[in-house]
Amino acid sequence: MRNPSPLADTDSAAAGGQQGLKLWQWLQWFLWPLRGCAARIVADLRHFGLLIDTPAGPVLLPSVRAGILLSQLVVTLGFTLGKRVFFIGGVWLTANQGRRELRLTPFAGLVHTRSLYALMLNVAGNLWLFCMLAFVITLLVRQSASCPARPQWLPAGLVRLVHWWWGRPVWAAVPARPDMPDDGVVSSHRLRHLVYRTAIVTGIAAFAIETLQFVFAWGYSDVDDVIYDVIGATVGVIVAMHWPFRHSTLALLAAAIAAVVLLAFMAASLMV
């Protein structure tokens, strides 16, 4: 009997002249035991009417996508601007956040750090936070482009910003084919466009966050944080553009679950 391992299906890679296994095939190897659980989740979402079936794959309803985006934004703002209110043991304490400090020397923390744990926590935290945010936003925009019913609550200014960042109208009159095919191939021109504009948007957003931290004494404002945020966001966009569209719903649900867990920890800290 043939073994239905995902590693056996390499015809598409061979047809494209590619050697070895794609990233998604490696992920399938490690996530193979959870395949049945993922299929069950998708079936349940379809049963409750939370999915829209498109030729490219299942797409979440606009209200569900909005909830996922909101959870990611709350986590990002909580970890950057809310550290005087929330705390997570072993990560930060609210008592240490009520100060105003400006650090303008790039990578000074790497040279003059007093704690390797604190350094790794700061670097990994900034990279992970904005990588996840950019990853989720990119997948959400890809799903919106494949089923472009524009939510009425979106302001016109935000719609124009998304169109500028994406490089084309997202909420068009006719559903567009997903920008990324499922074989893992993306044009270098398309990727450079998104990376450059992601760096611009993330840099402005990170600068605004650091400015608010300095003005309201919500912790130290560090130029390194801006650099790590931009790097993390660009990595998130690159990964999301190479992510198979048919598996984007599962990735968004996993990100939403992780965000809910973090929000639960943050809410629990208010009760201590």
Residue closest to 167 by CA, chosen among 196, 131, 204, 193: 193
Cα distance between residue 225 and residue 65, in whole Å: 28
Question: Which amino acid is it at 139?
Answer: L
144 versus 201: the higher-pLDDT residue is 201
Burial class (CB within 10 angstroms; exposed 0-12, middle 13-18, buried 19+) of 147: buried
Cα distance between residue 197 and residue 98, in whole Å: 33
* Residue found under tokens 């929000």: 263
Residue 167 zone, left/alpha/beta (φ > 0; ψ -120 to 50; rest): left
* Residue found under tokens 């990611």: 72
Question: Which amino acid is it at 75?
Answer: V
Cα distance between residue 272 and residue 263, in whole Å: 15
Residue 256: the pLDDT is 92
What is the percent of the chain where pLDDT is above 90?
25
Residue 54: the pLDDT is 78
Q: Is the pLDDT of residue 169 over 60?
A: yes
Q: Is the pLDDT of residue 10 over 70?
A: no
Lowest-pLDDT choice from 13-17, 92-96, 154-158 = 13-17
- Long-range (24+ apart) CB contacts under 8 A made by 188-191 are 190/241, 191/238, 191/241
Cβ-count burial 164-174 (b if 16+ within 10 Å, e if not): ebbeeebeeee
210 and 96 in contact (C-beta within 8 Å)?
no
Question: Which amino acid is it at 201?
Answer: V
Read off the pLDDT band of 98 (50, 70, 90): low
Residue 191: the pLDDT is 85
CA triple 172-174-175, angle to 5 deg = 90
Residue closest to 248 by CA, chosen among 70, 72, 42: 42
Please report how many Cα atoms fall inside a 13 Å half-sphere around the Cα of residue 210, on the Cβ side.
21
Cβ-count burial 217-240 (b if 16+ within 10 Å, e if not): ebbbbbbbbbbbbbbbbbbbbbbb
Burial class (CB within 10 angstroms; exposed 0-12, middle 13-18, buried 19+) of 201: middle
Residue 25: CB atoms within 10 A of its CB come to 18
Cα distance between residue 84 and residue 11, in whole Å: 53
Per-residue pLDDT tens digits for 199-245 = 999 999 999 999 998 888 887 788 999 999 999 999 999 999 989 88
Please report how many Cα atoms fall inside a 13 Å half-sphere around the Cα of residue 47, on the Cβ side.
6
Cα distance between residue 123 and residue 9, in whole Å: 37
